[in-house]
Structure 1
């Protein structure tokens, strides 16, 4: 039986994308060795056109600054490869799995996958099958919070953005609620 475990709120929401990335760099100092010398050149217009929605600025800045990453040998954040943006945006696998999870979840307020209004859109996964999702809203992508869908059945919300979530998770300021501790080690995916 799935349960919504609650909502975690950051002390202060970081609304400036550069501040969120800097917070992540502070708690994961190994990240600096992977910083690009020039932006990756991802075609965000194509990604967003394929998805039918804009994406948060903090995520786009992280993707422009770094290759796809894995934190603490656990949490994988994949970015659109330049030249293959459409393939990345149109990959239905995660949304299909998420649709099944949402359907099976027994919650007082049902959660639905994107493109449903307020739907959940994956932005990261774990090597244990957990999903890290944006809660889309009409307020716009920079106001989206995070929902964690644990493979163990627990779901929970975080009211900050994705990059701030990573910083708070790696920095140890979040209650783990079904997740393992995620250390500051960083590596690139692929």
Structure 2
């Protein structure tokens, strides 16, 4: 059984998606170049019905303004593609129900054994980034990190704020390497993957 290292808390939890995205854009200067001219349109109501829960608004806003992207050849942020959200929702629903989780209850810390984990990112080294779906308010769900080295930990802020604070060094990267604020890949319009040169 793995251990839960603890919880890191931001000085102030940012709840407005536009404020969180502005923080991330300041932390990762190259991100702004990927920003869509107009937000992508997703059928969030259908996605959330398929998953069985609402999703955090900062994540939805990130998906609307940005394609899925990779930071520092390490951390991939997994957002749905416009028009392909059904497949993303199906995978997330299976994961939430425990049917497709890479981390069944017996591989988690005891404190998380019965918690619904929903993945939103992964590293090239095998680290996993989740929401711990605790309670009915997704705006309060913590980010939960499962390091490939074994330790698990929480961040008591939203996904976008987590990414910003991980990249700007505000957040201690427990059991993770430091993440440079560099975009190294992203989903290109029309499909396919683009790599930074």
TM-score by length of 2: 0.86
Partner residue, 2:171: 174
Cα distance per residue 1:125-152 (max 9 Å; x no partner): 1111111111112241111111101111
* CA distance in structure 1 between the aligned counterparts of 2:51 and 2:44, rounded to whole angstroms: 10
* CA distance in structure 1 between the aligned counterparts of 2:14 and 2:145, rounded to whole angstroms: 19
The answer on whether the counterparts of 1:58 and 1:161 sit within 8 Å (CA) in structure 2 is yes
Cα distance per residue 1:132-179 (max 9 Å; x no partner): 111112241111111101111110011001100000101111111111
* CA distance in structure 2 between the aligned counterparts of 1:88 and 1:72, rounded to whole angstroms: 24
Runs of 4+ more than 4 Å apart: 92-95
The structure-2 alpha-carbon separation of the partners of 1:93 and 1:9, relative to structure 1 and needing over 3 Å to count, comes to closer
The answer on whether the counterparts of 1:145 and 1:161 sit within 8 Å (CA) in structure 2 is yes
Structure 2: give runs of 5+ residues left out of the alignment. Answer: 188-192
The structure-2 alpha-carbon separation of the partners of 1:93 and 1:142, relative to structure 1 and needing over 3 Å to count, comes to closer
RMSD: 1.7
Partner residue, 1:33: 33
The answer on whether the counterparts of 2:167 and 2:180 sit within 8 Å (CA) in structure 1 is yes
* CA distance in structure 2 between the aligned counterparts of 1:23 and 1:111, rounded to whole angstroms: 33
Partner residue, 1:125: 122
Structure 1: give runs of 5+ residues left out of the alignment. Answer: 113-117
Partner residue, 1:188: 186
- Secondary structure of the 2:120 match is strand
Of 95, 98, 102, 1:98 maps to 102
Deviates more, 1:119-128 or 1:59-68: 119-128
The answer on whether the counterparts of 2:142 and 2:155 sit within 8 Å (CA) in structure 1 is yes
For 1:134-173, list aligned pairs within 5 A: 134-173=131-170
TM-score by length of 1: 0.89
